[in-house]
Amino acid sequence: MSTPPQAHVYTAVRTPFGRFGGALATSRPDDLAAGVLAAALARTDLDPAEVDEVVLGNANGAGEDNRNVARMAALLAGLPVSVPGSTVNRLCGSSLDAAMIGSRAIETGDAEVVLTGGVESMTRAPWVLPKPERAFPAGNAELVSTTLGWRLVNPRMPAEWTVSLGESNEQLQELHDVPRDRQDAFAARSHQLAHAAWEAGFYDDLVVPVDGVDLARDEGIRPDATPESLGALKPSFRPDGTITAGNASPLSDGASAVLLGSRAAADRIGRDPVARIAGRGTHAVEPHRFGYAPVEAANKALARAGIGWADVGVVELNEAFAVQSLVCVDAWLAQGLRDPEVVNTRGGAIALGHPLGASGGRVLGTLAAAMRSDGHRWGVAAICIGVGQGLAVVLENEQA
């Protein structure tokens, strides 16, 4: 009886992540996505016609990224018209979801090579105007920003579910008693580790330039950030709150790509796989408790991989907010994670940025590279998602 196919990560790339209104503001999201798709393929011997599917994540999809940005980006990247493309929207988890979908297609035999990833330009996210219910309305209409958070909310939704992302996390810190100074220390660590990783050359092979843009590194990193400097910032969501612009991820622009394939596809791809996708997990909670959702998503992924937290050598957790990251890490420590310092060893989204649709591909690619660099066999990539969801993937470094 033949062994079922398994999905592997072969290569991962991303753009530098730009600040809102920063260096990538003039770059269309479909061009950002096309650039990383082309860069990923350029690292292989693969005939682009042998890509079975392109699956990209995108959270907003109301502007230049509309009408299936995966298909648009594949065409702009020069892939043959015969290669299909599909866009996934699971908000912040979209590109990790894209990789999960691609891995399932490989494991079921529906595909051998799937090019996944995601893109977001939060700078270029448009304002939207709902169509009137009747023709020729006499009154004014309000434009709604699609950059972040709830919009055009159904009035039947419970009010406690639809509070802002920041207010949700203020509630989370009250529930779990995470003080301001601890959040600021975590955020400063993110900046310091991200800067150190760049200086050490860790990101040199993961990050590719954007055509026509002079941006070599992630634009939001502040090497001089300290708990004291971050502690001087004013709260953003409550007058007496703990969450600031310094201990939350910024609005960002960028794109990521992760090439997945079966083991049998290695000869055609022209390189050995970096890691095997060993487990996947999804979990949902009340919408305003979304920051905690990665806890059980990761536990499910570990169970499906047949391992526990004691086996995990490195974790990439998307830092939407310092408080939700700390709450997740605390829960995993209670469940057997050996050391909080194994989380985000090369910095996280507070420093690097969080372009919604691209972040899942970033955490997966960074995880695979960190596992190889540090010699860890097992790693976890996890991400929280607005409206109360979390995703996680377990990778195995088969050469460790």
Cβ distance 244 to 234 under 8 Å? yes
Q: Which residues pair with 345 in a beta bridge?
A: 347
Q: With beta carbons less than 8 A apart as the criterion, state whether 362 and 326 touch.
A: no
Where helices occur in 29-116 by DSSP H, the ranges are 29-42, 69-76, 94-107
Residue 216 is encoded by which pair of tokens? 């070599």
> What are the C-alpha distances in Å from 309 to residues 280, 303, 324, 372, 394?
15, 10, 19, 19, 11
Helix (H, G, I), strand (E, B) or coil at 128: strand
Q: How far is CA 199 from CA 196, 203, 223, 346, 374, in A?
A: 5, 9, 11, 11, 17
Q: Kindly list the catalytic residues.
A: 92, 354, 384
Q: Is the torsion defined by CA of 265, 267, 268, 269 positive or negative? A: positive
For helices 29-42 and 69-76, angle between their N-to-C axes, nearest 10 degrees: 60
